[in-house]
């Protein structure tokens, strides 16, 4: 399952990034914006989504100052197609279907 964890400051916790954005928006001509909060989004593929709350509490967030919310994310078809790599080059070595050819070192001289 692809999941998104949305993390934001808890109500009443100082949010200097949110305050900076809120002050900057009117200077750019965006009036009437209030209560701006800046958080983050963590996207991950998990085999056991039931463990996501524990991951959030123990590592992904700071439960003392942050609230979090888990939502299921769609996996776009292009991502799946991009993941099916048949041939690639790594540090000059050509990899094809599990075989590695070492690059030629040196040359005629």
State pLDDT tens for residues 60-69.
Answer: 999 999 999 9
Q: Is pLDDT above 80 for 70?
A: yes
Q: Is pLDDT above 60 for 88?
A: no
More confident call, 43 vs 89: 43
What is the model's pLDDT at position 108? 59
| Antiparallel, parallel or unpaired: β 2-9 and 66-72 | antiparallel
User: Rounded CA gap, 5 and 47, in Å?
Assistant: 15
Residue with tokens 């070595």: 93
Give the CATH number of domain 2-99; options: 3.90.79.10, 3.40.50.620, 2.30.130.10, 3.30.1280.10: 3.30.1280.10
Average pLDDT of the residues of the chain: 85
Domain boundaries, the chain: 2-99
What is the model's pLDDT at position 75? 83
């Amino acid at each position: 399952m692809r999941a998104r964890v949305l993390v934001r400051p808890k109500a009443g916790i100082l949010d200097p990034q949110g305050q900076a954005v809120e002050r900057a928006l009117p200077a750019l001509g965006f009036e009437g914006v209030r209560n701006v909060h800046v958080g983050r989004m963590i996207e991950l593929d998990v085999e056991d989504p039931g463990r996501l709350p524990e991951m959030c509490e123990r590592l992904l967030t700071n439960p003392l100052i942050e609230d979090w919310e888990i939502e299921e994310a769609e996996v776009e078809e292009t991502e799946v197609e991009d993941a099916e790599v048949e041939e690639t080059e790594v540090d000059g070595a050509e990899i094809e279907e599990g075989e590695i050819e070492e690059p030629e070192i040196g040359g005629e001289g």
